[in-house]
Amino acid sequence: MQHSRRALDETHRLYRQTLEVADCGHVQALSQLAERFRNQVEINFDPNIELARRILVTRIAFRQSLPIENIETFLYLNRADSNLFLAEAHFVQGLHHFHLSEYSRGANCFSQAAEKFLNEAMYERYILSLYNQFIGDLNSKEMDLGADEDRISFLERLASHYENKETLGLIIRHKAWVLERQGRIMGAQKCLDEALTLLRSYNTISDFQLGSFQLCDILLKLNEREKARQLFESVTGPFDTRVLFPKAYLHAKLNDQPLPEPERFLVVSPVWLEKYKISLLAKPVVANRGSDEWDIERGIYLIAGKKQIQVKPSSLEGRLIFLLLDRRRPREEIISLLWPDQCDSSHVSDRLRKILARIENKLDKIILFDGKCYFLSRSIQVTSSIC
């Protein structure tokens, strides 16, 4: 029994060590350890070691984009009792369901993985599982992305407490998307600058590429076209399937070309699919009385090249204008993005009316309502006083 315990501990150590090496790009290490485990179970069968071997085989299939059938059956051994390998089995099943866009099933798998990782005091894997569960929950709600700000803030605090910098970079990158959807564009840019520092040092190249492309899209929203182009061109390959659509999407936007069709790509995340749909809906605003200019760094808004007003981009007025820069939006959507926790409150409707009234008085009827949606009556040139 003592020998069996020692063998399992050694298997745990080898597995964790190999995953770290594989995450750095040395995928062959997975195959070598899987072969080593296969030889072990042929000599003396151990259900935990066999489960570890099957998990490695599944991870290799992921890396090689090979089809996986009956994954639940393949990763089930009724006598396996290692919390680590049972947790990893749930974790890779979650990855499999995500790949198939089965986000609800994937979230359930990550929830089970998180519980077992916590029992093993494996806090890094525990937090990563919670984060993946969060992504699965959001993506299974028919594009209701970025709405759960409290939950992403909790994950950020948890990852910071345990100094889990790998997952923290992913969490902050997603937080930027939450802020972007709420019209807090400057906050989103700040988050992405922070996330990219972490992603560059602690995550895979594809995670860093996705963060860079997300920042590129933010720069386009801020009319920093040249900075966006420079950033886009600085992102080098190889590119995996998760990155191909954002790359093609941004290439089209930077070169004023038709947007790529998502159906042509193997993987399109819900975040980038929503960006694509918003771009399709966006219609250029035709200036009927000249265009305005907004220096977001100094918070100075110039009406038709004449009247100068102070409008901070972090204010509710500024956030509302940001929300309308790319497209028309109905009242309910604006409320859900500006006040995600108070969508059903009549008090919030009154607040929106007051904000619109303040904007109308300050900015000479820049926002109009056509009975269904709010929209900008003039084009706005967003600039920055910082070179």
In a domain, 26, yes or no: yes
* CA–CA distances in Å: residue 208 to residues 75, 82, 242, 244: 31, 33, 12, 13
Cis preceding linkage at 238, omega within 30: yes
> What does the pLDDT read at residue 5?
67
86, part of any domain: yes
Q: Which residue has the tokens 């991870």?
A: 59
Q: Does the residue 118 lie in any domain?
A: yes
Domain limit, last residue, from 118, 141, 164: 141
List the CATH number of the domain containing 378: 1.10.10.10
Q: Enumerate the H helices of the chain as residue ranges.
A: 2-23, 28-43, 47-63, 71-74, 83-99, 103-119, 123-139, 149-161, 165-181, 185-202, 205-221, 225-234, 241-254, 270-281, 316-325, 331-338, 346-363
Short-list 149, 178, 184, 181, CA closest to 314: 184
- The conformation of residue 327, written as its DSSP 8-state character, comes to S
User: What would the pLDDT profile of 30-75 be if each residue is shown by its tens digit?
Assistant: 788 888 888 877 777 888 888 888 888 888 887 776 777 788 888 8
173 found inside a domain: no
Q: Which residue, among 364, 376, 377, 358, has the nearest Cα to 312 in the 3D structure? A: 358
Are the C-beta atoms of residues 136 and 98 closer than 8 Å to each other?
A: yes
| In a domain? residue 242 | no
Task: Tell me what pLDDT residue 342 has.
Answer: 67
pLDDT of residue 329: 86
Domain assignment present for 57: yes
Q: Answer whether residue 271 is part of any domain.
A: no
29: CATH: 1.25.40
Token pair in block for residue 207 = 């995670």
DSSP three-state, residue 366: coil
Upper half-sphere CA count for residue 260 (Cβ side, 13 Å): 19
| Domain final residue, candidates 95, 112, 141 | 141
DSSP 60-114: HHHHTT----SHHHHT--TT---HHHHHHHHHHHHHHHHHTT-HHHHHHHHHHHH
Number of independent structural domains in the chain: 2
To the question of pTM greater than 0.75 for the whole model, the response is no
∠ Cα 139 141 142 (to 5°): 85
Q: Are the CB atoms for 276 and 166 separated by under 8 Å?
A: no
Question: Which parts of the chain have pLDDT scores under 70?
Answer: 1-5, 21-27, 65, 142-147, 281-290, 305, 341-346, 384-387
- Pick from 100, 119, 141: which residue ends a domain? 141
Residue 123 domain flag: yes
Cβ 92 vs Cβ 62: under 8 Å: yes
| Segments forming the whole domain that contains residue 351 | 292-383
Give the tens place of pLDDT for each residue, 302-353. Answer: 887 677 888 888 888 888 888 888 778 888 888 888 887 665 566 788 888 8
Would you state the torsion angle of the CA atoms of residues 275, 279, 280, 284, taken in this order, to the nearest 10 degrees? Answer: 160
Query: Which residues, in sequence order, are CB contacts of 178 under 8 Å at separation 6+?
Result: 146, 147, 149, 152
